[in-house]
Every structure is written in C-alpha cells, then in structure tokens.
Homo-oligomer: A and B are copies of this chain.
Amino acid sequence: MHCSPTPTSKHSTYFQLATIGSNGRTANRTVVFRGFQENSDKIQINTDCRSRKIEDLKHCPFAEMCWYFTESWEQFRINGTVDVIDGSNPDPMKLQQREKAWFASSPKSRLQYLGPNPGLPSISEHSSQENSLDPSSGPVGALLVVDPDQVDYLNLKSNERIAFTSIQDTNGEKLWNSEGVDP
C-alpha cells in the first residue's frame, strides 16, 4: 500500500469499527488503534472479552474500519476480516501476540477489563476503585487483529480517492493493487 495512516494527534489514535450482529443489524463504535502487527499491515485493537463486538465478530468476521484524520482531511475505509484472539486460542504465536498487546497498554486500560460487565445494567453501589491489578498479571482482554483486504483512501484536500485491493501472488504473499477512482 502506498498510503498508510500515521497517527500523530489525539484525534488520530482512534477510529470507528463496524460489525454485523447476529440480529442482522450493523453496530459501530469507536476503538483505539493499538499499532500494526510487526512487519505487516494488520491492525491491532484491544477489547473486553465480554464486549458485544466479540459476539458480532464470531458470528460474522467481516468488518469495516473508518479512520478519519481531522487535521489532514484524509479518510481510510479499511475492510477486512477480524481474528479474535482470546485466552482459549490454540495458537501459541497468537497467544504471545495477545500478551504483548496486553502489556503494551497502560495499567489503567487493563484495569477496565476487571470492572463490571459492559452493557449490563449498572449496580450503582459498584465502584471501579474496588478493583486492583497486579501489573505483572497476564492478559484478561481479547486482541482483535484486522487483516485488511480492501482500502478506500480519500483525501478531501486534494480531492483524490484511491481504491486499494489486495491480491495474492503465486507464493501466497499479499500484494496491493491500486486504482484512482472518482471521489
């Protein structure tokens, strides 16, 4: 890919992730960019295992990220499949990636995953201060890995739009084709 998002400001560290639920409706929420996976174009997101998006992604692994950069007026629409890596994953390499992403996030972020079940009715007595976390304890959340296969890039300053489509070469390596399209 010739263009890659380079998050520089606080407005650029998050994007919107759309999924499809088992009710056949789409869901859309803001998530935090946790970097690309080493030597790849795969995008990492940390999430609570009890979050609805896990259920959505297990039902339908296709998702679209919409990443808008306020300062540069650039939008990346990134469509692909999402791998959900939780503690039950049988692949040791993936479990290692999950652990790495867990320790790369702040202790405060990690603490969230020990709070009450997101989306369930609040029991007002509960205080998040009740939880504490041993900084050395392993991952509780899940790692989501977005493997992009289509990227729609739009630059509203230059009025340029490029459609990127991934293809596989004869060795099974991913390559990107690009084509200018009308904005």
Contact = CB atoms under 8 A, between A and B. Distances in A.
A119 B181 contact: yes
B180 A124 contact: yes
Nearest to A163: B119
Contact of A16 (B66, B70, B79, B183): B66
In this complex, which of A26, A68, A77 has the most chain B Cβ atoms within 10 angstroms of its Cβ? A26
Contact of A27 (B79, B124, B126): B79
B182 A115 contact: yes
Interface size class of A (residues with CB under 8 A): 35 or more
Given A18-B64, A64-B18, A118 B183 contact: yes
A20 interface: yes
A120 interface: yes
Interface string A48-88: 00000000000010111110101000010101000000000
Nearest to A14: B68
Contact of A29 (B60, B75, B117, B120): B75
Interface in A18-41: 18-20, 24-30
A26 to B, nearest CB: 4
Contact of A28 (B10, B66, B120): B66
B24 A62 contact: yes
Interface in A115-147: 115-122, 124, 126, 128
Interface of A: 10-11, 14, 16-20, 24-30, 60, 62-66, 68, 70, 75, 77, 79, 115-122, 124, 126, 128, 159, 161, 163, 179-183
What 3 pairs across the A-B complex have the smallest Cβ distances? A18-B18, A18-B28, A16-B16
